[in-house]
């Protein structure tokens, strides 16, 4: 995994290159381990770009019990998993653009104490995105390679990016 820090006017930015799905899972695991309070993570990218693999790692880092299998919640919209912090995995793929977060209960989750990972976040109007959040943009760069651009908005999620280069595949 290769990390390239960058900066942006309205958020801290890191670029991560993964070369296998396990590395994408490891990135999620590393960030999940560091989280200690509620946060919204918006995931952008095409089908098969690694959003669900990242969410699986995030669940591991949040200590979601092993019998729970984190899969894309396309048909259920929101899956909730118990862990060190509640983990809500949201998939907006089947909703029209723009999705109304209040109508589907996302605003309550956004204001809660859990970790909310939203796949297909481009279906949310930019004005409906929380001020404090992480945005991850997944781009397919090869058969198993991905480029992941991470933008942290707000002080707390920016702190999560400080040690992102220590990502490794967890045991």
pLDDT score of 25 more than 90:
yes
Nearest to residue 22, comparing CAs of 136, 171, 164, 169?
Answer: 169
Query: What is the pLDDT confidence band of residue 167, given thresholds at 50, 70 and 90?
Result: very low
Reported as a pLDDT band with limits 50, 70 and 90, residue 73 is: low
Domain that includes residue 116, residue range? 2-166
Residue 139 has pLDDT above 70, yes or no: yes
In terms of Cα–Cα distance, which of 27, 40, 62 is closest to 161? 27
Q: How do residues 26-50 score in pLDDT, each as one tens digit?
A: 999 999 998 888 899 999 999 999 9
Closest CA to 5 of 171, 149, 112, 142: 149
Whether residue 9 lies inside any domain: the answer is: yes
* In a domain? residue 171: no
81 CB-near residues (< 8 Å, 6+ apart) = 59, 62, 64, 68, 70, 87, 88, 89
Retrieve residue 101's tokens.
Answer: 């977060």
Q: Specify the higher pLDDT residue, 164 or 62.
A: 62
Q: What pLDDT is recorded for position 21?
A: 94
d(CA 3, CA 121): 23
83-108 in b/e form (b: 16+ CB < 10 A) is bebbbbbbbbeeeeeebebeeeebee
pLDDT at 171: 39
- Could you tell me the pLDDT band of residue 162, with boundaries at 50, 70 and 90? low
Q: Quick check: 11 pLDDT over 60?
A: no
Percentage of the chain surpassing pLDDT 90?
43
**Phi, psi for 41 (deg, rounded to 5):** -120, 115
Asked if the structure places residue 116 within a domain, the reply is yes
CA–CA separation, 49 vs 140, rounded Å? Answer: 6
CATH number where 20 lies:
3.40.50.300
Specify the number of domains making up the chain: 1
Name the 3-class secondary structure at 26. Answer: helix
| pLDDT band, very low/low/confident/very high, at 169 (cuts 50, 70, 90) | very low
Average pLDDT over residues 85-108: 80
pTM assigned to the model: 0.84
Whether the pLDDT of residue 168 is over 70: the answer is no
For 97-108, the pLDDT digits (tens) are 777 777 777 778
């Amino acid at each position: 995994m290769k990390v390239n820090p960058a900066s942006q006017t309205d958020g801290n930015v890191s670029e991560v290159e993964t070369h296998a799905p396990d590395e994408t899972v490891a990135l999620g695991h590393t960030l999940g381990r560091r989280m200690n309070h509620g946060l919204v993570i918006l995931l952008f990218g095409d089908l098969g770009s690694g959003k669900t693999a990242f969410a699986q790692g995030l669940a591991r880092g949040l200590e979601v019990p092993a019998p729970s299998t984190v899969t894309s919640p396309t048909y259920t919209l929101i899956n909730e998993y118990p862990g060190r912090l509640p983990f809500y995995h949201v998939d907006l793929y089947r909703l029209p653009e723009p999705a109304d977060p209040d109508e589907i209960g996302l605003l309550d989750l956004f204001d809660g104490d859990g970790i909310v990972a939203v796949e297909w976040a481009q279906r949310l109007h930019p004005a409906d995105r929380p001020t404090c959040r992480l945005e991850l943009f997944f781009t397919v760069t090869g058969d198993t390679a991905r480029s992941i651009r991470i933008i942290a908005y707000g002080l707390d999620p920016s702190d999560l990016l400080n040690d992102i280069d220590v990502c490794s595949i967890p045991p």
